[in-house]
Amino acid sequence: MVENQKCHNYRTLSYLIFAMTKDEFISRQETMKHYGHKIALLWLTGFGAFALCSVPFGTYIKQNEWVQSLFAICFLIYFVGGIVFISLLNRRNQKKLGIICPNCAKPLFRTSAKSIIATGKCGRCGEKIING
């Protein structure tokens, strides 16, 4: 009984935190897109730095097998690590902006955002996301 009451209070509290108007929701979507563009630009800059390094040192890299392996390993770490880092950063930004469903924890971004703007509810669980 007490546990149910706590759960209810948490759900009410999370609803109060996450409930927003349609304009706020759209604004948060735009902010999330802006964050995404910044992260992508940063990652692509690093990708370009790898490409630029391979041009002047290309001959040296090709001649030394261990340097070639080291370069490939560094590139793989950057590539895979970048994807993991971007995923974690996106999740953090979604939490910060409150565009994660308080009931089922689904990200309320991109394709799901259109249905939420139309219905005001989470597409997965039906939780009310938008007030009014």
99 near Zn ion (CB under 5 A): no
Contact 71, 17 (CB under 8 A): no
Closer of 46 and 126 to Zn ion (Cβ): 126
Q: Which is nearer to Zn ion, 48 or 126 (CB)?
A: 126
Judged by CB under 5 A, which of 14, 31, 90, 103 binds Zn ion?
103
User: Is 124 one of the binding residues for Zn ion (CB under 5 A)?
Assistant: yes
Whichever of 36 and 107 has its CB closer to Zn ion, that residue is 107
Q: Coil, strand, or helix at residue 35?
A: helix
DSSP 27: H
Is residue 13 a contact point for Zn ion (CB under 5 A)? no
**Who's near 1: CB < 8 A, 6+ residues apart?**
none
Options 26-34, 49-57, 91-99, 114-122: segment touching Zn ion (CB under 5 A) = 114-122
Angle separating helix axes 65-97 and 22-54, nearest 10 degrees: 170
Element (H, E) at 82: helix 65-97
Residues in the chain: 132
Binding residues vs Zn ion (CB under 5 A): 101, 103-104, 106, 122, 124-125, 127
